[in-house]
Structure 1
Amino acid sequence: MNDSRRTLVRFRNVGKTYDGVTPVVDRLDLDIYEGEFLSLLGPSGSGKTTCLMMLAGFESPTSGEIWLGETLLNTTPPHKRNIGMVFQNYALFPHMTVAQNVGYALTVRRTPAAEKAAAVAAALDMVRMGEFAGRLPRQLSGGQQQRVALARALVFNPKLVLMDEPLGALDKRLREHMQIELKELHRELGVTFVYVTHDQSEALTMSDRVAVFDAGRIQQIDRVDALYETPSNNNVAGFVGDSNTFIGELLSIDGQQCEIALSNGQRLRGLAVGELRIGAEVRGCARPERLALLDPLQTPAPGGALNVLRAQSEGALYFGDHMRVRFSLPGQETGFVKVPLDNTMLQRCRAGDTVCLAISATHVRVFAHEPSTSHGVHHAH
């Protein structure tokens, strides 16, 4: 999809350290395509915001090069980069009206008055804030201030707009509404958006591609559907969406197919990802919606492409549009299955009941067992 697009930004072997020892960003290579919506996703301290700040010019790389088109940015001051920026706290001037705030960048650039007025009006209309031009920031709601900050970032027709957790201060409902608005605006304008967030559902909802950061490096960069369905390692599987983890010993491997033995003697077949060794400890990961509940009395014989695991129910949780049945296996983290509300098997999932879980081997991804550096399973709600 992206190979035909022109590359707008190039990070080449970029490193950043504050103490000369610990890398905050570690040998980063990244291409950002013209017109795409790219999210940088990761836990606190993973390097994503530092990466954004180096692109904006508020931080300098310790090593490597950052290019915007044919311009090397390393020595270009922030105000000469033609990059729009939206911060989490909006950073609006309290003593200036909405129109003055939006026009500030043009005032600094000494844009002629008539041209400036037209550009400010157009930018405010773009975010549906035209009628608020004469108000002060304190007279606006959080969502309205967010729109003004966005208009200010767009008013000088930048090639690139950077956003640092811009919806973090909004309540859940308004945040979800603004996600849709931002995505629509991006589609209409065709400007390149680079968006920093630690919220994986936000990244999946809005982006064309997502780069998952951990420990200063990009763990995987991919289209959102590929990132969710085919995570490249255990950290990505745990951070993007919900994931059940089954730890065991690798028994056999045949091409991409492999089989692992769990500590209670049950076996699980799946797809091998990356370098795996027979006899080593591995992790099988499966999305909760890929598991199905079977009747324990009518369980098919093990074998074939379907894994069948017997587990103990830890009870069911109501989530409005579905139920989540929690289950446990000896020596494993508690997992869960997403179950439609009309599933008759729910009556047999009281805490302590035996449950049978079925999952196709094609939906189990098996990774080498690495200690997770991100914050474990990150549950989407």
Structure 2
Amino acid sequence: MRPALHSTYQAPPAMNQPAEPLVRFTGVQKTYDGEQLVVRALDLDIQRGEFLSLLGPSGSGKTTTLMMLAGFESPTAGDILLDGKQITRTPPHKRNFGMVFQNYALFPHLTVGENVAYPLTVRKVPKAEQAERVKKALDMVRLGGMADRLPARLSGGQQQRVALARALVFNPQLVLMDEPLGALDKQLREHMQIELKELHRQLGVTFVYVTHDQGEALTMSDRVAVFNEGVIQQLADVESLYETPSNRFVAGFVGDSTVLSGTLQGAGADAAIQMPGGFLLPGINVNQAPVGARVQACVRPERIVLHPQSEYPRPNAIPATVARTIYYGDHLRLVCELGHGQEPATVKRALSPLGTSHAQPGDQVLLEFPPAATRIYAV
């Protein structure tokens, strides 16, 4: 008789379990006067190795959130965890975070090398190791050979690289950046955005980046948390944030939108915005506004299709008049009057080949609004 078989099989771990975040905010609040909350009941997970931007207008709570993470501000309520351990009351110098500010915060009387070495000096790293790590950090930000210069002899972009090298030289768990490119001119700022993203890709360090510039956030981030009035309005990857804004604020703050006003007609897949003049445009009822409610539809300018008015009537299209054209170098924007009290519609178009004409002010046109790109929000 055979002995009974005892199974040694063990079920594999559940697939697609979310990884433990590097940082977790749980129910975090912040008030300075005991009455008005600058940050309200913040729940936020920051994943290891990601580039997360905190985006929002002035006073939205994004910088206060960063300062609480850095340890320069203490939450009024709630917890901040690092690797699952409480750091809410841990002082800044014990958090092992690199910090880059808008004003660089370099010591003017110290050389570039001495500025970069400062965090190592504070941590009592041996001189020989300091020299090696400073050289590596300066090479990383393409400032090799400049260790003996004073900050005053450097350009704004070079000073920002020194500040970045100083934030990276001690191998921090997190690099926190507060509007670090705000003082640079447009061309240099765009160049530094590409450099920062590439550096993040090479190092794999977690970056948390505060900005009010939505283009900057979209260019560099893996995910973006959009703040307004102390609350995260949406947290998403950059494509989802741009293509599928979760509410009217995000739709208006992130990227450009043409805004149409009217009332909601139809439910579910039959939702549409009824506009003055009798025009009905199908769309997506994002926040489940009730039938008859005042709504606004937001459509990205590049999704609107321009047709000659001779094609009227056309599904999902309304007549308009080109009011002006704006040349951007790589594309053309047409500002079109819709009438009936509507805001002007902006249409983004690729430039026509040289020698061919494009729409001119005064031209009568048809604007087609694809239903999948017409996102309807309650007002």
The normalised TM-score by structure 1 is 0.92
* CA gap 1:190/1:349 in 2 versus in 1, 3 angstroms: same
In terms of Rg, which structure is larger? Answer: 2
Please say if 1:33 is aligned against 2:42: no
Conservation of the 8 A alpha-carbon contact between 2:281 and 2:369: no
Please say if 1:333 is aligned against 2:347: no
* CA gap 1:256/1:233 in 2 versus in 1, 3 angstroms: farther
Q: Which runs of 5+ in 2 are unaligned?
A: 1-15
Conservation of the 8 A alpha-carbon contact between 2:308 and 2:364: no
**Other structure's SS at 2:326 match:** strand
Structure 2: how far apart are the matches of 1:156 and 1:78? 15
* CA gap 1:348/1:82 in 2 versus in 1, 3 angstroms: closer
Cα offset, 1:120, TM superposition: 1.3
Structure 2: how far apart are the matches of 1:340 and 1:92? 44
Cα offset, 1:106, TM superposition: 1.1
Cα offset, 1:4, TM superposition: 4.4
Structure 2: how far apart are the matches of 1:60 and 1:102? 28
AA partner of residue 288 (structure 1): P
Cα offset, 1:116, TM superposition: 1.6
Structure 2: how far apart are the matches of 1:100 and 1:4? 41
Conservation of the 8 A alpha-carbon contact between 2:225 and 2:232: yes
Cα offset, 1:348, TM superposition: 4.5
**Aligned counterpart in structure 1 of residue 333 of structure 2, from 324, 327, 343:** 324
Q: CA RMSD for the aligned pairs? A: 1.6
Cα offset, 1:249, TM superposition: 0.6
Moved more, 255-264 or 242-251: 255-264
AA partner of residue 34 (structure 1): R
Percentage of pairs with the same residue = 61
Structure 2: how far apart are the matches of 1:191 and 1:124? 17
* CA gap 1:267/1:128 in 2 versus in 1, 3 angstroms: same
AA partner of residue 361 (structure 2): R
Cα offset, 1:256, TM superposition: 3.9
Moved more, 291-300 or 342-351: 342-351
* CA gap 1:164/1:348 in 2 versus in 1, 3 angstroms: closer
AA partner of residue 24 (structure 2): R
Please say if 1:147 is aligned against 2:161: yes
1:372: which partner in 2? none
Structure 2: how far apart are the matches of 1:299 and 1:3? 53
1:8: which partner in 2? 22
Structure 2: how far apart are the matches of 1:102 and 1:340? 46
* CA gap 1:52/1:346 in 2 versus in 1, 3 angstroms: farther
**Aligned counterpart in structure 1 of residue 307 of structure 2, from 256, 277, 294:** 294
Within 5 A, what are the aligned runs for 1:43-82?
Answer: 43-82=57-96
Conservation of the 8 A alpha-carbon contact between 1:349 and 1:355: no
Cα offset, 1:121, TM superposition: 1.4
Structure 2: how far apart are the matches of 1:55 and 1:8? 12
Structure 2: how far apart are the matches of 1:119 and 1:322? 45
The normalised TM-score by structure 2 is 0.92
Structure 1: how far apart are the matches of 2:17 and 2:33? 37
Q: Which runs of 5+ in 1 are unaligned?
A: 370-381
Conservation of the 8 A alpha-carbon contact between 1:285 and 1:364: yes
AA partner of residue 172 (structure 1): K
Aligned residue pairs, count = 362
